[in-house]
Structures are given as C-alpha cells and as structure tokens.
Chains A and B, each alone.
Chain A
C-alpha cells in the first residue's frame, strides 16, 4: 500500500511552501498514505453525471455599490507586521543581483 512516495511528499511540501526535515518527510509519507488509503473509499462511489458542489449556498457574484467606504488605516495595517520599513512590508531579496 503506497499511494504517495517520499518524492511526491517533497514536491507537495514545496507547493505548500513548507520546510520539512527528513524525519518529518518520512512521517508525513506514512501518515498521508494511511489517510489516502481511507480516501480510496470515494473511488468506489459512482458519480457519473453528478455535478460538483463547491458551495451549499446558491449565491453568485455578490456585488456592492462602487462607493468609497472607510477602510483600515495604514498605521493599523502595519501594527502586526513582523518586519516593516518606511511604510512597506519588508521581505528578503526576491530578485537576484546580476
């Protein structure tokens, strides 16, 4: 019973932007296999012609009037920022130096 291998776990962890230690990758592979094995139950369900339902409420394209409303102040928006500089959220370098 192996639905997902360590290499796939590494790929998914990268997609999820999640650093995993080697031991965590092993554990994750084992437990995800158990859960995915349980999920195989769905494979046996006939869903031919059944429409998918992402939401229980039949509301669509909820709009509001295009009017100016009060919003969060800049000061409040930065109160929880772990790293701020001159009115910007500061992040590590994204673009490589040439």
Chain B
C-alpha cells in the first residue's frame, strides 16, 4: 500500500535512488489490479506480460542513466488509442477483435521512454457518453462509491488512477471526457491546447475537438506527463509546430498579481450547492495567495452545449463512416449486397448512443438542414471563441466548476440523453475554442464525494494554468484516495 500511495514523481525519486525497481512497482500495481478490479472494472484489456517486459527495459535504462522523467513508472491507456497488436476496442462491439497494426504516437512515446503500459481502460462507446454506461463491455465504477459512475467518457482511466490501479493514465477529451471523470473521481485531468498532443492513432470522434491528455493524482505529475505527451508530430496535420516548454518549470512560481477570471453566471442556477461552495472556496484561496479576482463575461457560453452537440455529432457521423465491415472491425453476415452489408454491420456493431449521434450529425449535415444546424453551430463557435479572446485580454486564467454536480448513480441519466449531455455544460467551451483546461480536486461533499474545479487558460497557456493549479493545490490541500478496503 505504501508504494501504491506514492505519486509518479515520488516513484521517480525512489527509482533513481535504486530503492525500488520498475519491476517491483509494476508487480505491486498488477497485484492491486487483481485485488480491486472485480469491484472497479477500469480495464477492458490487461497487458501484464508486456508491462513487466517494459519494466525490465526501464530498469536497464535507469541503470545506464538513460532514464527520462517517467521511465519505469506504469500507466493505463484509454482504449481508443492504438496499441500495436493489442486489442483496441473503443468500448464498442464494432472493434471487439481489432488489433491495430501500429502504435498511436503517444503510445510510441511511452514505449520509447520506458513507461510500462498496464492495460487498456474502459470508456463510453466511441467516447460518446459521460458515465461509461454506453460501453459495450459494461460500466466502470467510481472507487469513492461503487454505486456511482466514474464519469466519462474516459471513466476507466479516471477510475484506475483513483482506485490506485495505476499512478498515471491517458484519456481523451472531446467535450469534457478527461475533466468530468477527473472531477468525479477526485484526481487531476488536463485537456491540452488543441494541436499540442498528437492525435495520430487516436480513434477519431470529433477531429476538431479531440485532444489526448493526462490523468494523475496531483498537478506536478500532470506537468511531468504533459512533457512526455506534448510535441510536434508530422503524422498529425493539426499538430502545432511551436516549440514546447518544460512544464515542470511552471510549478512553484509565485502567483501574486495573477488575474483569475470568474464568469458572472457560472455559479448560478442548476449548480449543486456544495459544488458552488467549493468553487467559492477556491476563489478565496486564490485571493489569499495574492491573485486578483476579476469578474468576466462569457455571454455565448449558454449556447455552447447546443453548438457542441451539432459540431461533435456532425464530425462523428463523418468519422464513423469508416466502420463498414470491409477493412477491419465487425462485419454482418447479411450479405445480400454491399449496402445491405454496410447497414447491418453498423446496426449490429454500434450501440444506441452512437447510433443517435450518427443520426443527429448526418441530419445536421444533410441537404436542406446544413445551414440551419451545422453552419449555424460553426458561427456560434466563432462567437464562443471571441468571448474567450476578450476575456483573456483582461485575465490570465478562468476558474469555474468542472461539472454541475458530483458523481451520479448508475441509471440516473442513461435513459435521458439530454440530461447526460448537461454534464458537459462547463467543459465543452474549451474544446470549441481549442484552449487548454484542467480539472483538479478542490473539496469533498459532506457524503465524502470528490468535487473538482476547472481552470481554463488561453491557447498554449498550459504553463500559467499549471502554475496556478499547483499553487491552488498547495492552498486547498489534497483529499486522499479510497483504499477500497483491501
């Protein structure tokens, strides 16, 4: 248990002092997974053998003094990132037996650095959902309360870190899919600036919104993991060519005089009282650190959810057209002719939420409706981004709730897609604007459930965001993780 409680950077220290080997760390985590996985169900596929081999390679690298910041420290990877010859299901029946013939760039980076991959984590099907309940493989559970969802879509990755099944995990965030589960499971989750991290080998949901990012137990570990993830990749044409800073350098800076924006209406109606109180506490904490709190306006945020669900579904309907039973994935036995085969392959391979979103997106792009829906949403997107441009003329970062409520119970929202979509009400704006945002733990409810707050920064403002988050973490403290009585 002592080893499990260490942060990634604490493990780095132990590895460098040769007090522990990567193999011992990986073996400890594999034992923990064996013990708690029946309760939490974070993983779809475990890769124990590969992880142990990678650990041995990492131990060699450490011996030869070729170790990077995270060499030898294991990680869990969301199941929508391609792993060479290891099942990558995307939470769908469609890709039940899919073994990618290549690694995603982020996975290749992990391998090169000697970061052992423990397994592939559960997710809402094709990342469409906020609870993991749409996964074909069944839901993951929130380690803080097994009757509640861990959030989604990257719920398996969040649950794995919160259940101490992994010190680090990768998620992807299209409208909040890293930040919302991080908030619901009491950990840190970062959605980087669009284009900072390569999307090559990430199975596309909405290409103009998707970004890969870290899940960690604290802010410093996120900075370390972002260092590893971030980089220009010629294989991703939306990869930003800018030089990447060392995010570790951002930690520990004085934030006196930092201008923290709080949107007028972000603490109003529809927000859980305890969530609102926690955000207010974070505002006070920033003020006591010498930051200046500035009221800002984001007048078009109220249109963000409606905009997001048109842009995301339109892009998804196009991206998911590739699943036709020809080159990979499920194929129907209904083979009267090709179109029949396509239609039945897709009917059998996709679950209800994926079908709904393909239908909505196809409708929004179809002749006669394109202008009223898709084009209108793209214009609203411009206005949402302009709001942020104006706000960041006055402030350095923006503070808001991550989610309107804490972790909800299974079945509470799954039958009403609109209620589920509302989980994303604070998170979609950052994806639409392409700017970085993160969630970090800031308190617990009286029932002991984690509450997160969100920090949003301008494009490529990860350093100031992480520096503010690090200071806030010091001020509000940490809240521990559930032991699950093992």
Chain A contributes a number of interface residues (CB within 8 A of B) equal to 50
Cβ-closest chain B residue relative to A75: B101
Shortest C-beta distance, A43 to chain B (Å), equals: 7
- Assembly CA distance A77 to B335 (angstroms): 23
Q: Is B464 on the interface with A (CB-CB < 8 A)?
A: no
A79 with B99: CB separation less than 8 A = yes
Contact digits for A68-87, partner B, Cβ 8 Å, 1 yes 0 no: 00001000110111110000
Instruction: List, in ascending order, chain A residues with CB within 8 A of B337's CB.
Output: 92-94
Q: Is B479 on the interface with A (CB-CB < 8 A)?
A: no
B306 with A39: CB separation less than 8 A = yes
Once A4-B363, A92-B340 are accepted as A-B contacts, the answer to whether A50 and B382 lie under 8 Å apart by CB is: yes
Shortest C-beta distance, B175 to chain A (Å), equals: 13
Q: Is A1 on the interface with B (CB-CB < 8 A)?
A: no
Cβ-closest chain B residue relative to A90: B326
A51 with B382: CB separation less than 8 A = yes
Shortest C-beta distance, B331 to chain A (Å), equals: 4
- Assembly CA distance A43 to B340 (angstroms): 37
Interface of chain B residues 430 through 451 with chain A (CB within 8 A): 432-435
Shortest C-beta distance, B386 to chain A (Å), equals: 9
Instruction: List, in ascending order, chain B residues with CB within 8 A of A94's CB.
Output: 337-338
Q: Is A34 on the interface with B (CB-CB < 8 A)?
A: yes
A83 with B303: CB separation less than 8 A = no
A81 with B327: CB separation less than 8 A = yes
Instruction: List, in ascending order, chain A residues with CB within 8 A of B433's CB.
Output: 56
Q: Is B372 on the interface with A (CB-CB < 8 A)?
A: yes
Once A57-B240, A57-B434 are accepted as A-B contacts, the answer to whether A42 and B385 lie under 8 Å apart by CB is: no
Which of B98, B307, B310, B432 touches A56 (beta carbons < 8 Å)?
A: B432
Contact digits for B295-312, partner A, Cβ 8 Å, 1 yes 0 no: 000001011001101100
Which of A4, A9, A19, A62 touches B343 (beta carbons < 8 Å)?
A: A19
Interface of chain B residues 307 through 343 with chain A (CB within 8 A): 307, 309-310, 317, 321, 324-331, 335-343
Instruction: List, in ascending order, chain A residues with CB within 8 A of B331's CB.
Output: 82-83
A12 with B362: CB separation less than 8 A = yes
Chain B contributes a number of interface residues (CB within 8 A of A) equal to 70
Instruction: List, in ascending order, chain B residues with CB within 8 A of A55's CB.
Output: 208, 238, 434
- Interface 9-mer from B8-16, B40-48, B72-80, B352-360: B352-360
Shortest C-beta distance, A93 to chain B (Å), equals: 6
B362 with A15: CB separation less than 8 A = yes
- Interface 9-mer from B109-117, B244-252, B373-381, B393-401: B373-381
Shortest C-beta distance, B482 to chain A (Å), equals: 35
Cβ-closest chain B residue relative to A93: B337
Cβ-closest chain B residue relative to A18: B346
Instruction: List, in ascending order, chain B residues with CB within 8 A of A52's CB.
Output: 375, 378-379, 381-382
A47 with B376: CB separation less than 8 A = yes
Shortest C-beta distance, B241 to chain A (Å), equals: 8
Q: Is B290 on the interface with A (CB-CB < 8 A)?
A: no
Contact digits for A1-45, partner B, Cβ 8 Å, 1 yes 0 no: 000100011011101111110001000100110111011011101
Which of A32, A50, A64 touches B379 (beta carbons < 8 Å)?
A: A50
- Assembly CA distance A96 to B356 (angstroms): 32
Once A39-B310, A81-B327 are accepted as A-B contacts, the answer to whether A64 and B234 lie under 8 Å apart by CB is: yes
Residue from A50, A53, A64 with most neighbouring chain B CB atoms (10 Å): A53
A12 with B366: CB separation less than 8 A = yes
B237 with A59: CB separation less than 8 A = yes
A54 with B208: CB separation less than 8 A = yes
Shortest C-beta distance, B13 to chain A (Å), equals: 37
Cβ-closest chain B residue relative to A72: B101
Which of A38, A47, A76 touches B383 (beta carbons < 8 Å)?
A: A47
Cβ-closest chain B residue relative to A57: B195
Q: Is B243 on the interface with A (CB-CB < 8 A)?
A: no
Cβ-closest chain A residue relative to B386: A50
Once A19-B344, A62-B237 are accepted as A-B contacts, the answer to whether A13 and B101 lie under 8 Å apart by CB is: no
A35 with B417: CB separation less than 8 A = yes
B99 with A38: CB separation less than 8 A = no
14 A-B residue pairings within 8 Å (CB atoms): A13-B359, A15-B362, A16-B346, A17-B343, A24-B355, A41-B302, A42-B373, A47-B383, A55-B208, A56-B432, A59-B237, A76-B101, A80-B98, A82-B326
Task: Contacts A82-B330, A91-B326 known; list 12 others, CB within 8 Å.
Answer: A16-B358, A20-B347, A20-B355, A41-B302, A52-B375, A53-B379, A55-B208, A57-B238, A77-B327, A80-B329, A92-B341, A93-B337
The 9 A-B pairs with the shortest beta carbon distances in the complex, nearest first, are A56-B434, A52-B378, A80-B328, A82-B331, A47-B379, A76-B101, A19-B343, A19-B347, A62-B237
